[in-house]
Structure 1
Amino acid sequence: MYRVPNYTQTVSMKLSEVLADIGIDERIVMKRRRTWLLNESIININYQLRVENNLTHILGSQSEGTTTIGIDSDIDKLICYKTLPVTQDWSDWIPGENNLLMIQDNSVSPGYCLLQVLRDDAPLPLDEPLDDESDQYFFKDRTGKILFQKFYSILYK
């Protein structure tokens, strides 16, 4: 059975003191968390008002309240585009929709997946990009699968 060393409480107290000295105490952490939750709510209400079927989650050290002034920490946003059905199984394919199939294999880091583009007329993989303009959204992997790619990245300061 694992036992916690006797000095753990002392180290924890000293760490709390140091964090409080640089501006990270429980009050500030909770204030930052509430601020970013409010920001997230405003973004999602804005989507609803514009009748966009999206959802944003703000993650990371900013929203957790665990960053300090001067670190220049970025803001991590996860935007869910609900207009693109992502399926885990071929049987969940929806006719007439731009479906994406979730692929998790050894080539992908844990916690991540690849999104394979499927045809809208049959539950089959798309074998050619739709047009030249769609190349910014898709790429072909080494096995020939057409995959959805991250098409923009914005860092908020």
Structure 2
Amino acid sequence: MSEVLDDSGAGKDTVMGRRGTYLWRECMMMIGMKCMGQDMECFHFGSQSEGTTTPGLQSDIDFLISANDFNIMTVWEDWKSWMLNLLMLHDDTTPPQQYLLQAIQTYTPEPETSLIHGTLVTNDCGQVLLSAERGKQYIEYEDRDRGEATKNGPSVSFIPNWDVVNAFHIRKPLPEIHHWIDRCKGRPV
């Protein structure tokens, strides 16, 4: 089997080389972002960076960007002044492991009451929420000078064969994720 993988360009050395290359690319991109004054992290994921694709398959490159200037709150006590705060909400209409993000004021830990940005919408209860669809439209509009955007699911990309997803980092562990991790490790739940 190893010989077949080596012959197809998916042997151990190739896989390790690809992983190293994509880790290096992540480091270079984060250094570049810091030099431009952006507090972001970036990650390659998927078959290209994992080295699990073979030449000729023309796999796309999957890329995730996480902005660190957002504070994703799981409870009100997580609020931080002078940050962009979003409170995670979950109700009966929200699918498992998905959340609505309610906009919270920057100067005081109170819900935002007006649409202060084009990426925000109000729901039937009057809560001001971040809209993923409006977020993608905002990225497409702001970077319109880069050409036509390609949108696939949560991805908005201006680079052919790249899926670029913008995300938020949750700094607190979520119980449902720990339950899944513990289950995968074989620990009793």
Aligned to 1:28: 14
Cα–Cα, structure 1 residues 105 and 38, in superposed 2: closer, same or farther, change >3 Å?
Answer: farther
Aligned to 1:114: 100
**Structure that is richer in strand per residue:** 2
User: 1:105, CA displacement in angstroms?
Assistant: 4.8
Higher Cα radius of gyration: 1
User: 1:101, CA displacement in angstroms?
Assistant: 1.4
State percent identity of aligned pairs.
33
1:124 aligned to 2:124? Answer: no
Aligned to 1:88: 74
Aligned to 2:5: 19
Question: What are the within-5 Å matches in structure 2 for residues 128-147 of structure 1?
Answer: 128-130=114-116, 134-135=117-118, 137-141=119-123, 143-147=125-129
Which of 16-25 and 78-87 deviates more? 16-25
What is the TM-score of this pair, normalised by structure 1? 0.73
Q: Which runs of 5+ in 2 are unaligned?
A: 140-155, 162-189
Aligned to 2:157: 154
Select the structure with the greater relative contact order (CA < 8 A; seq sep ≥ 6).
2
User: Equivalents in 2 of 1:109, 1:70: separation in Å?
Assistant: 37
User: Equivalents in 2 of 1:19, 1:55: separation in Å?
Assistant: 33
1:79 aligned to 2:82? Answer: no
Q: Which runs of 5+ in 1 are unaligned?
A: 1-12
Aligned residues: 138
SS state at 2:44 partner: strand
Question: What are the within-5 Å matches in structure 2 for residues 94-109 of structure 1?
Answer: 94-105=80-91, 107-109=94-96
For the aligned residues, what is the CA RMSD? 2.4
Question: What are the within-5 Å matches in structure 2 for residues 30-69 of structure 1?
Answer: 30-69=16-55
User: Equivalents in 1 of 2:18, 2:91: separation in Å?
Assistant: 37
Q: Is the 8 A contact 1:103 1:114 kept in 2?
A: yes
